[in-house]
């Protein structure tokens, strides 16, 4: 049983009664009307629910579509930002690289933060810059650029090639010591061994004037040789020599180096100092009471007076670029600017082990003199004779040549010669000098016009006056 509400009077009564007890409205009619209302309400509810469901579905659809659109936009943005724009920038950078605008290309690739193979192309551009520097002749800049590449491609080989070109340039410019050192550092690369020898042949010290104890010799422009002075042992019998490129006057003999790098001698052979017939490939000579020859391969040969080992102790020398024979000792200049010396060391004339940065050496009576790269002079040995005094304290600067024997003579860049004497005197030697030589008690100098001047103390000055023009160094 259930209570129902009368549709006529609104009173509630049992659905089992025949009619409404208040107004008499039949129960069946009331139930019928109630059912009709419920049906309509149900329909309305269903209609409302259907409309609500449709709106929700549309909203979901819109949301989904909007999300998809947003995702698409985001994807497009990401593609543009990470693919399209970088690809365009990458292509621009590649074009810069292809047009050899390497510096600009490097900047462009660096801003790409490793995109594709941009890091590899940065290396390639740096390599291109280094190659360009090499091709333009900037070998030092190219070496620095290749070294940064740390072995990329054939950069190490190109470093060697640049160093080789630098060495060749030094050789062609006449930088004898610089080219030798540069070639030696290449350790046999290409034809450096042959070039070292050729460099010695061309640039090893060669004298066109020389002074001995009592005589002097000079080379004429045609390669013949003239002499003046004492000839009691035939040391001046050089008139038949030809093709001579360097001379050295010893005590009482004369040594000549010929253009085929063989050696000739005239004068006393008391100690065997003239036994040079078998010598070959000699590039520089020096004589005193013994004869020293520098070979093209940087080794040394020596003959003559050997009381103190001034000849025999040179056999192990190597990498020598200049030699000097003194009174009982021999001096060698090494390619690294250091100096070696053997023989008598009675007055400390062989104390050269600490010398560095030397570019020329000369030896005399118990003295050794060195010219440093900065144009100053260093010396060791005995300086209290009547002809020489300690050049270490003289303050020589801007010196380009030195000579030692009984005197020590220095030639300045200005062309002025100073000859160190115990009393500080300077013999009368003309300015504009290009070469100087000293004997036991005199000095001679060659001017830029090819004429030789002699200092006081040389009793055969008139003989030099007859020489005419001498070959310039």
Tell me the pLDDT tens digit for each residue of 397-410: 788 999 988 778 88
- Does residue 471 lie within any of the structural domains? no
Instruction: Report the share of the chain in percent with pLDDT over 70.
Output: 86
| Three-point CA angle 285, 288, 294, nearest 5° | 20
pLDDT of amino acid 113: 82
- Would the pLDDT of 389 be above 60? no
Q: What is the DSSP string of 159-221?
A: HHHHHHHHHHHHHHTT-HHHHHHHHHHTTT-TTHHHHHHHHHHHHS---SEEE-SSEEEEE-T
Ramachandran area for residue 150 (φ above 0: left; ψ -120 to 50: alpha; else beta)? left
- Would the pLDDT of 299 be above 70? yes
- Does residue 348 lie within any of the structural domains? yes
Structure tokens of 196? 């070292």
pLDDT of amino acid 81: 62
State mean pLDDT over 52-68.
77
Indicate whether 216 and 361 sit together in one domain. Answer: yes
Give yes or no for a contact between 390 and 383, defined as CB atoms under 8 angstroms apart.
Answer: yes
**380 closest CA partner among 411, 344, 424:** 344
Indicate whether 110 and 80 sit together in one domain. Answer: no
| DSSP code at position 313 | G
Residue 287 neighbours by CB under 8 Å, 6+ apart: 212, 248, 249, 250, 251, 253, 254, 255, 273, 304, 325
Per-residue pLDDT tens digits for 104-126: 999 998 988 888 888 999 999 99
User: Mean pLDDT in the chain?
Assistant: 87
Indicate whether 195 and 241 sit together in one domain. Answer: no
Indicate whether 109 and 172 sit together in one domain. Answer: yes
Of 66-75, 355-364, 436-445, the range with the highest mean pLDDT is: 355-364
Domain with 256, as residue range(s), is: 207-465
Indicate whether 142 and 255 sit together in one domain. Answer: no
In this structure, the strands spanning 209-211 and 215-219 are antiparallel
Indicate whether 315 and 444 sit together in one domain. Answer: yes
Indicate whether 272 and 184 sit together in one domain. Answer: no
Q: Phi and psi of 427, rounded to 5°? A: -60, 160
How far, in Å, CA of 63 to CA of 55, rounded?
A: 12
Per-residue pLDDT tens digits for 124-175: 999 999 999 999 999 999 999 999 999 999 999 999 999 999 999 999 999 9
Instruction: Report the share of the chain in percent with pLDDT over 90.
Output: 61
Residue 326 neighbours by CB under 8 Å, 6+ apart: 288, 310, 343, 349, 363, 364, 365, 366, 367, 368, 404
Indicate whether 340 and 387 sit together in one domain. Answer: yes
- Would the pLDDT of 273 be above 90? yes
3-state secondary structure of 268: coil
Give yes or no for a contact between 473 and 207, defined as CB atoms under 8 angstroms apart.
Answer: yes
pLDDT of amino acid 22: 78
**28: pLDDT confidence band, cut at 50, 70 and 90?**
confident
Indicate whether 158 and 226 sit together in one domain. Answer: no
- Does residue 95 lie within any of the structural domains? no
Indicate whether 260 and 387 sit together in one domain. Answer: yes
- Would the pLDDT of 428 be above 60? no
Indicate whether 113 and 17 sit together in one domain. Answer: no
- Determine which of 166-180, 287-301, 419-433 has the lowest per-residue pLDDT on average: 419-433
Of 22-31, 92-101, 253-262, the range with the highest mean pLDDT is: 253-262
The CATH number covering residue 242 comes to: 2.130.10.30
The pTM (predicted TM-score) of the whole model is: 0.78
pLDDT of amino acid 426: 44
State mean pLDDT over 186-204.
94
Structure tokens of 35? 């059912």
Per-residue pLDDT tens digits for 302-356: 999 999 999 999 999 999 999 999 999 999 999 999 999 999 999 999 999 999 9
Sequence-distant contacts of 90-99: CB under 8 A, at least 24 apart = 90/115, 90/116, 90/118, 93/118, 93/121, 94/121, 97/121, 97/124, 97/125, 97/128
State mean pLDDT over 200-228.
95
**51: pLDDT confidence band, cut at 50, 70 and 90?**
low
Neighbours of 22 (CB within 10 A): 13
Q: Domain count of the chain?
A: 3
Residue 78 neighbours by CB under 8 Å, 6+ apart: none
**351 closest CA partner among 365, 366, 337:** 366
How far, in Å, CA of 196 to CA of 213, rounded?
A: 34
- Would the pLDDT of 196 be above 90? yes
How far, in Å, CA of 431 to CA of 420, rounded?
A: 16
How far, in Å, CA of 196 to CA of 263, rounded?
A: 21
Q: In what order do the strands lie in the sheet with 339-343?
A: 320-325, 329-334, 339-343
State mean pLDDT over 247-259.
97
3-state secondary structure of 60: helix
Indicate whether 340 and 437 sit together in one domain. Answer: yes
Per-residue pLDDT tens digits for 202-211: 999 999 999 9
E-strand spans in 408-469?
Answer: 408-412, 417-420, 433-438, 443-447, 452-454
- Domain end marker among 200, 217, 233: 200
Q: Is the dihedral of CA 125, 131, 137, 140 positive or negative?
A: positive
pLDDT of amino acid 424: 42
- Would the pLDDT of 65 be above 90? no
- Would the pLDDT of 278 be above 70? yes
Give yes or no for a contact between 415 and 431, defined as CB atoms under 8 angstroms apart.
Answer: yes
pLDDT of amino acid 422: 46
């Amino acid at each position: 049983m259930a209570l129902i509400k009368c549709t006529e009077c609104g009173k509630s009564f049992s659905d089992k009664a025949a009619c409404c007890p208040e107004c008499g409205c039949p129960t069946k009619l009331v139930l019928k009307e109630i059912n009709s209302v419920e049906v309509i309400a149900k329909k309305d509810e269903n209609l409302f629910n259907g409309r609500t469901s449709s709106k929700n579905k549309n909203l979901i659809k819109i949301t989904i579509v909007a999300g998809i659109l947003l995702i698409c936009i985001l994807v497009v943005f990401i593609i543009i930002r990470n693919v399209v724009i970088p690809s365009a920038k990458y292509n621009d950078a590649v074009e810069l690289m292809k047009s050899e605008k390497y510096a600009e290309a490097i900047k462009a690739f660096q801003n790409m933060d490793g995109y594709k193979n941009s890091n590899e192309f940065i290396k390639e551009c740096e390599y291109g810059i280094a190659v360009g520097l090499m091709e333009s002749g900037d070998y030092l800049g190219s070496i620095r650029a290749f070294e940064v590449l740390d072995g990329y491609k054939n950069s190490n080989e190109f470093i060697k090639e640049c160093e080789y070109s630098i060495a060749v340039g030094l050789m062609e410019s006449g930088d004898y010591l610089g080219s030798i050192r540069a070639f030696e550092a290449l350790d046999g690369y290409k034809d450096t061994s042959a070039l070292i020898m050729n460099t010695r042949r061309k640039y090893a010290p060669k004298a066109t004037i020389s002074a001995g104890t009592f005589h002097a010799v000079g080379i004429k422009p045609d390669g013949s040789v003239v002499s003046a002075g004492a000839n009691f042992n035939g040391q001046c019998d050089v008139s038949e020599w030809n093709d001579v490129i360097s001379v050295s006057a010893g005590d009482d003999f004369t040594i000549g180096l010929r253009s085929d790098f063989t050696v000739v001698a005239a004068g006393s052979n008391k100690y065997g100092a003239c036994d040079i017939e078998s010598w070959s490939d000699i590039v520089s000579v020096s004589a005193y009471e013994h004869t020293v020859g520098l070979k093209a391969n940087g080794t040394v040969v020596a003959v003559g007076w050997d009381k103190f080992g001034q000849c025999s102790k040179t056999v192990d020398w190597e990498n020598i670029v200049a030699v000097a024979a003194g009174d009982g000792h021999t001096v060698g200049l090494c390619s690294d600017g250091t100096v070696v010396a053997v023989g008598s060391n009675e007055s400390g004339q062989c104390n050269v082990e600490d010398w560095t940065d030397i570019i020329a050496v000369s030896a005399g009576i118990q003295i050794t003199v060195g010219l440093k790269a900065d144009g100053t002079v260093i010396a060791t040995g005995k300086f209290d004779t009547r002809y020489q005094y300690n050049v270490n304290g003289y303050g020589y600067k801007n010196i380009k040549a030195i000579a030692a024997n009984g005197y020590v003579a220095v030639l300045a860049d200005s062309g002025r010669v100073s000859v160190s004497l115990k009393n500080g005197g300077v013999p009368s030697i003309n300015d504009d000098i290009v070469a100087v030589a000293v004997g036991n008690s005199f000095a001679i100098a060659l001017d830029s016009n090819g004429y030789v001047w002699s200092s006081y103390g040389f009793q055969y000055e008139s003989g030099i006056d007859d020489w005419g023009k001498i070959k310039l160094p």
